[in-house]
Structure 1
Amino acid sequence: MRRWFILPVLLASALVLAAVGAADPGDGKNKGKGHEFSAKGGKLTLQVTTTDHGCSFRPWATDKLSRTYKVRKNEDGSYTVRREDKGTFTTLAGLSPGADPCPTVIRKGKHGTTLLAGVTGKIHGYIQGTVTGGTFNANGKCTAECTNTDFIAGFFTAGAKFTCIQGYAGCRFNFAYTAQKQEKQKLKFHHWVDRGLDGVNETFIGDIANS
C-alpha cells in the first residue's frame, strides 16, 4: 500500500491510489508507451490497475487506468510533475467512498452509506505538484506499478522532493467519478469528486452509493 502523502492524517482516494496490479511496461524496459522524455521533461503513459480509496482510507473500487506522467523543467530549476488518469472503475461491496466516518475531509452535497459489488463507471482526473532538490533523468525507469513515489524515485536523482508527497501545499488534484445507467445499477448517488485546489484542504463532493 502506497500513499500520495506520507503524513498519516491525510487519507483520501486521489492521494492514496495504491497500485495492486501490474502496469503495462510498454517497450519491455519499464518505460511505458509514449515514452518521450528529454532533459527538459516529456511524458510517459502506462496502463495500470489500482485499488481506489475513499473516506478513512477505505478501499471501495478497482480502477483500470491509462496513466500519463508529464514533466516540465521550470526556469528556476524546479520541475512541474503532472499525473493524468483516465479509465474505468468497478466497485467493491462495502461502504461508499463518501460514507461516515470521514475525518480530515470537507464533504459537500449529499452522500450515501453502502455499495454493491460490480457497479461500473468512468474516472478521469489529475494531480500536479513541484519537484525540487533533484535532477530529472530522462533515461530513468519506473516499476511495473509506477506509483507517484516510484516515478519520482525512478526519474529523479536522490534528494528530490515532490510537494504532493509532503502535503497539500503546492499540490493540486481533481478526480471525478461517474457511474452510468444509474437506475439499472440501482444507484442512489452516481457522481463523486475528490479534489484539492487551495493547497490546504481536501474536498469530497457527492458519492457513488446504492443506499
Structure 2
Amino acid sequence: MTLHCTICTREYWEDELGRQACKPCTRRADSLLTALAGPNGLYARLSTVLAPGSRNAGPAVSGSRTAPLPVRLEPLSLLARGGIITVLQSWLVDWHETLGWRHPRWEGDLQHQLDQAVAALRANLEWAASSHPAFDEFAGELARYTAACRAQVDDERPARRIGVTCPCGTVLRITIDTPGARCPGCETQYGHAEVLQLPMAERAAA
C-alpha cells in the first residue's frame, strides 16, 4: 500500500491511503488543466504572442545579416502539433489503454482538440490519481508545460534556481515552487518542505 504521495511525498491522511497522489496534488493538477483550456485559457493566449515584438524581448539588434523570423518559436513550439496538445493526447491514450478502452478520437482544430483532451483528462483525473502508476510523471509534465505557456503569455521569467546540498554531498537545483526532488546521488526523495530545508550549496570559488 502506498503510504505517501508520489508527487509531494507527504504522508497520506487515512482517507488517502492507497492513492498515487494526495488530494491537494490532485486538485493542483485539475487547476492546471483548467488553466489551459477555453477561449481565454493559456493555450488560446499563445496565439496572441506569436508575432515578433508581441512581448518584451529586449531591444532590436541592428546590422543583422538575416531577416527576423515571422513568428516567435517559443510559443509556436507549444502551440503546434508536437507541443502541449500532443503531450496531453498521449497521456489520454495511455489512460485509455490502461483502462482497456478504445483509443480516443480527435475532432476539430487544435484548440478544439486541446479542450477535448483537457475535458477527458479532468473527467478521469480522480481515477488516475488513485490508480495510475505513472500519475507523478503526468503531473510533472503537466506542470512544466503549463509553466512554459504561462511564461510566454504572461511575460514571466523562469523561476530562479538555487543549489541545495543533500547530506550525501550531491547538489540539487531547485526553485521555490519545486514540489519535491529526488537526489540522483543517493536516491533520497524529498518533499516540498524537506527540500527547501536542505542547506544552501556553497558557490564554486571564482
Higher CA-based Rg: 2
Q: TM-score normalised to the size of structure 2?
A: 0.30
Name whichever structure is richer in helix by fraction.
Answer: 2
Higher strand share: 1
